[in-house]
Amino acid sequence: MTLPPLMIASARRHLEAAYGLALEGLGDDQIAGAIAAAAEDPWVDPSEPRFLARVVDRLPIDESWLFREDPLWEWLRDEGGPALLDAALAAARPVRVLSLGCSAGQEPFSAAILFQGLLEQAGIPGSAAAAYVQILGLDSSPVRIEAARAGTVPGWSVQRCRQDWLRGRVAEDEPGRWRVDPAVRAMCRFDLGNLVEIAGRGNGALAGFDLVLCRHVLIYFRPAEAERLAAGLARGLDPGAILVFSASEAHLLEPGGLAQLAHLGAGRAGAALPAAHARRTAARRANGRNGAAAPRNGARRTGPARRAPAAGAPAPASGAARGDAIDRHIRVALEHAQAGRTEEALREARAALFHDPRHLYSRMLLGRNLIDVDAPRGREVLRDVLAAASSLPPDEEVPSADGLSVGQLAAAVKLLLDRPEAK
């Protein structure tokens, strides 16, 4: 059915008011499609809560997969997870993990599989893991929560992750559907939860959690609202608890005053790591195990290092306003790309390059998204990025990508060029 523009506009306003979502990245056709699929009555009230919940179920904002983004899970496996387990075991209590915006359970299941592996390394059988680690997944969508409780994930959630992460804990149940091992599911609980309300309740909602994951959620909020919510989450943490955003949201650690940890996007509230774990972490960094440099002169690193531009580096765009415009276009491009909206991501990457054609990160985003629609041209852009990066110091920080060095960007571009679909 054809929906009147006033109804679409009204639904947008009520969705933003109820869930805090910034929906500028979604076209009217996408909003209308979600409304049409959710409406049980053509004269539905756009402010009716149950109707809004059904619309949220159908908005294209829930892309997720098992073990999304290797660096987080590598850090949890090598540093964060062992420290949390040791502290909890010493206190004779379980580790408590909260996943905000958990979609259909991919992130909680990933955390459960990882912690189960750590426990087994310590001689604790996986069948007993639920007594040592408890994971709560919250999402505002009833349909996604029901899917998480069912313990099955779509095939693409499995195919997009590194298979060695799964440890045989996910098996194909039927074509296109995979079932999570019962011992892993026993570690997880799922419930409805609105991030806006959770951040507003502060410690009443987050008390007792050791690790709070809020990745690729705040990108859907307007910048000021995202900062407000991030600060609310930080205030609600117990001392020593860890809050993790995605790398593209790492700047949101600053409003809450959290100490940046070795993993970009992870911050700690108040208390520091126990001394034994601090020593092990320092040794790992010195050995380059996680690709992070040890702090110099014993100084504690609390955020991405700021370096002066090296000679020959691409000149940053002139003026604060131009730099802000580039950052804004990059942020929106990432939002679109993560939601699978390639054309919109390309539009924003090109807009960023309009302000500074030499901008490395914008060029990388352009090439990455071009590969999906024009592989030869995308590869050409990425090769140009590699050539530009080769003339710069590898440890030089890339503008508009806090914590990302030129060497890391070059490595990411090489991986993109090596992907089969990029050939």
Query: Same structural domain for residues 387 and 242?
Result: no
Query: Same structural domain for residues 124 and 54?
Result: no
Give the pLDDT mean for 111-116: 97
Pinpoint the alpha helices (H) of 40-125. 49-58, 70-75, 81-90, 106-121
User: pLDDT tens digit string along 288-334?
Assistant: 433 333 322 233 233 323 223 333 323 333 345 567 778 888 888 88
Q: 205 to each of 234, 237, 324, 391, how far by Cα in Å?
A: 12, 9, 34, 49
- Domain boundary among the residues 38, 58, 78 is at 58
User: pLDDT tens digit string along 207-235?
Assistant: 999 999 999 888 778 788 889 999 999 99
Query: Same structural domain for residues 366 and 290?
Result: no
Instruction: State whether the Cα torsion 166-172-177-178 is positive or negative.
Output: negative
CB 305 within 8 A of CB 402: no
| Rounded (10°) CA dihedral 355, 342, 371, 411 | 70
> What total number of domains does the chain contain?
3
Query: Same structural domain for residues 148 and 74?
Result: yes
Nearest alpha carbon to residue 245 among 153, 62, 107: 107
Query: Same structural domain for residues 264 and 184?
Result: yes
Query: Same structural domain for residues 102 and 219?
Result: yes
Would 382 be classed as within a structural domain? yes
CB 352 within 8 A of CB 333: yes
pTM over cut 0.85: no
Query: Same structural domain for residues 354 and 406?
Result: yes
Query: Same structural domain for residues 230 and 371?
Result: no
The structure tokens listed for 267 are 């911050």
Query: Same structural domain for residues 336 and 225?
Result: no
User: pLDDT tens digit string along 232-291?
Assistant: 999 999 999 999 998 878 889 987 789 999 998 999 998 544 444 444 444 444 444 333
Would 303 be classed as within a structural domain? no
Query: Same structural domain for residues 170 and 254?
Result: yes
CA gap 345, 88 in Å, rounded: 42
User: pLDDT tens digit string along 120-144?
Assistant: 998 889 999 999 999 999 998 888 8
User: pLDDT tens digit string along 44-61?
Assistant: 676 777 777 777 666 755
* Sole residue written with tokens 């852009």: 381
The structure tokens listed for 157 are 């959630």
Q: Is 378 exposed, middle or buried (0-12, 13-18, 19+ CB in 10 A)?
A: buried
Query: Same structural domain for residues 267 and 393?
Result: no
Q: 317 to each of 297, 321, 400, 405, how far by Cα in Å?
A: 33, 9, 11, 18
Which residue range forms the structural domain that includes residue 394?
320-422
- Domain boundary among the residues 58, 83, 100 is at 58
- Domain boundary among the residues 58, 83, 101 is at 58
Would 310 be classed as within a structural domain? no
Q: Is 286 exposed, middle or buried (0-12, 13-18, 19+ CB in 10 A)?
A: exposed
Nearest alpha carbon to residue 19 among 114, 75, 127, 101: 101
Query: Same structural domain for residues 27 and 105?
Result: no
Would 89 be classed as within a structural domain? yes
H helix or E strand, kind and range, residue 189: strand 188-192
CB 260 within 8 A of CB 304: yes
Other C-beta atoms lying within 10 Å of the C-beta of residue 93 = 13
State the pairing for strand pair 177-180/152-154. Answer: antiparallel
Nearest alpha carbon to residue 220 among 185, 243, 175, 252: 252
CATH number at residue 253: 3.40.50.150
Q: What percentage of the chain has pLDDT greater than the value 70?
A: 79
User: pLDDT tens digit string along 137-189?
Assistant: 999 888 889 999 999 988 878 888 899 999 999 998 887 789 999 999 999 99
Would 312 be classed as within a structural domain? no
The structure tokens listed for 296 are 């110099």
DSSP string of 137-174, one letter each residue: EEES-HHHHHHHHHTEEEHHHHHTS-GGGTTT-EEEEE
